[in-house]
Amino acid sequence: MRRKLAAGNWKMNGVSTQLAEVEALCAAHPSPRVDLLIAPPATLISSMVVSAANHALEVAGQDCHGEKNGAHTGDISGEMLKDAGASYVILGHSERREDHSESDDDVRSKARAALAADLKVVICIGESLEEREAANTLEIIAGQLAGSLPDILTGENTVIAYEPIWAIGTGKVPTLAQIGEVHDFIRSKLQTRFGEGVGRSIRLLYGGSVKPSNASEIFNVSNVDGALVGGASLKAEDFSGIIKALEDAI
């Protein structure tokens, strides 16, 4: 059984006052029946770990470098995230791929470095609107999976987030059939490459405009093991509604 996961990505949002939302979220879910994860800006990782002390909520970085250390001004290593108290890192988010020209090779190097630093990884993949409209979605997803995933992953240390770029922050959501088609496809690719057992154990999140109002139907799609949530993870009340929907889907 794959344990469900609700993950929030705060992106470049939040200073220390925003931690009140995490405290409210922890208070609202003292014993969550799903895994909870939030990726704040790197400046808030250590203080979020304190805010979530004695709670199951885990903290993630939003990116890390592919090298262990060195002359890379402005970058952050997996070891640094781990040292700050993070247990996961999000890699290959479409905003990193677009804003920083990150390739699948970059994402794979980063994933290797993160796993070597004993972090778990959430690897993001997803097609653009043009690719979707050209009926190239599955081909794009296959290429990103082949290129971005290292060979050493397991169901314990790796999560994959399917995030159609056109659904991120836009309020547009694929149909349930479209989500199901891509998640089933990812599952079968993982089983082919990593074997039945490992392929079956890797959690698959859907991401892109998930809200309390649409979460339940998305969580009932096959092979959706949770969500990666941007905007709606910034407010405890909204993220809480998504967490409840995920708990109801168990």
Residue with the two structure tokens 């890192």: 89
Is 210 one of the binding residues for ligand PEP (CB under 6 A)?
yes
93 is catalytic: yes
Closest CA to 68 of 77, 59, 60: 77
Contacts to ligand PEP from residues 163-192, by CB under 6 A: 163, 168-169
Question: Of the two residues 32 and 207, which places its CB atom closer to ligand PEP in the complex?
Answer: 207
Closest CA to 229 of 124, 148, 139, 135: 124
φ, ψ dihedrals at 227, nearest 5°: -140, 150
DSSP state of 231: G
Is 245 one of the binding residues for ligand PEP (CB under 6 A)?
no
Binding string, 83-122, against ligand PEP, x = CB under 6 A?
A: ----------------------------------------
Is 208 one of the binding residues for ligand PEP (CB under 6 A)?
yes
Residue with the two structure tokens 């999560």: 159
Least Å distance between CB 217 and ligand PEP? 16
DSSP string across 95-118: HHHHHT---HHHHHHHHHHHHHTT
Is 229 one of the binding residues for ligand PEP (CB under 6 A)?
yes
163 is catalytic: yes
Question: Of the two residues 143 and 169, which places its CB atom closer to ligand PEP in the complex?
Answer: 169
Rg (alpha carbons) of the chain, rounded to whole number: 17
Least Å distance between CB 80 and ligand PEP? 22
Residue 235's CB: how many other CB atoms inside 10 A?
A: 14
List residues with catalytic annotation: 93, 163
- Interface positions with ligand PEP (CB under 6 A): 9, 163, 168-169, 207-210, 228-232
